[in-house]
Amino acid sequence: MVKRDKARWEKFFSLKRHRRRAGAALPEIDGQYEALKSTLIEAGEARQTRGSSDDLQSHLDALRSEFSGQPELVFEHAKLIVLMRRDFKADEAFAAFRRMWEAEAEFLLEHLNLRWVVAATDSFADHDPDRANRAMALSVSMMVNTMKTYESERYITDVSAPPVNEEKVAHLQEYLVPIFSGLSMLTVGTDDTLRNLRWRIDRQAKDSALGRIVQHVFLRLQDEDTAFARMRRLHHRGRTAWW
């Protein structure tokens, strides 16, 4: 049974929720983007965080270490996400967050890893007042979390580097192989499904910054060790290439 999200009134009366945002303050970063972009964080060896401390300052200190060697702006971006997740002046934090993306989208996409790009789109999905923006942002989480799910399954079932069965690749060229509910396997090597998806993503990317983020994530996934990249290596029909 899926555990429901708490109602706003329940969250308001949660002592743990209040404790997790004790001492919070919105960063004053408007008008300081250039300075924050040109200042690098010096916090020793960078180490990715896992989970979060209930103590806000301890969590932010750990995050700052994660961004060691990177521009201060990306840490301030992460800080705004933390404040929104802890529901500290979420509307104001989101307004500052959206202004940052409107002004510095290309810089952020260049410097953020996929973990933090997805965290950003989760924030748009949670807080953007525009329904279309929320839906587009949610598509990034759907894409990446689907990838994380099947990659996790590959890890726990010890199939991290399965050999390609060339006979099955050839079979898919000749026959429809059902999956379930009317869906069928890709025609590996020639299929146009992912190319058509790419074209739809490209059209969205022309219309909005969020569309640009969807495009960025999709293209990043083509170069990592994902099913997209593995299908890419087997693809040989140029006119249906999607990368």
pTM of the model: 0.81
- Three-state secondary structure of 86-107: CCCCHHHHHHHHHHHHHHHHHH
- Residue 178, strand partner residues: 184
14: tokens are 């949660």
Give dist(CA 220, CA 243) in Å, integer.
10
- Supply the pLDDT for residue 52: 66
Domain ranges of the chain: 8-112, 138-240
- Supply the pLDDT for residue 221: 96
- Supply the pLDDT for residue 22: 57
Residue-wise pLDDT tens for the chain (243 aa)? 655 666 665 665 465 665 666 557 788 888 899 999 999 999 778 787 776 667 788 888 888 988 999 999 999 999 999 999 998 899 999 999 999 999 999 999 999 999 999 999 999 999 999 999 999 999 999 999 999 999 998 888 888 777 899 999 999 999 999 999 989 999 999 999 999 999 999 999 998 889 999 999 999 999 999 999 999 999 999 999 999
Give dist(CA 147, CA 159) in Å, integer.
15
| CB-based contact 97:81 (threshold 8 Å) | yes
148: tokens are 């994380």
- Supply the pLDDT for residue 186: 95
Give dist(CA 66, CA 41) in Å, integer.
10
- Supply the pLDDT for residue 45: 81
Give dist(CA 199, CA 222) in Å, integer.
15
Contacts of 201 (CB under 8 A, 6+ apart): 211, 214, 215, 218
| CB-based contact 218:211 (threshold 8 Å) | no
Give dist(CA 41, CA 64) in Å, integer.
8
- Supply the pLDDT for residue 48: 78
* 3-state SS class at 183: coil
Query: What are residue 187's phi and psi, to 5 degrees?
Result: -85, 85
127: tokens are 């807080």
Give dist(CA 201, CA 79) in Å, integer.
29
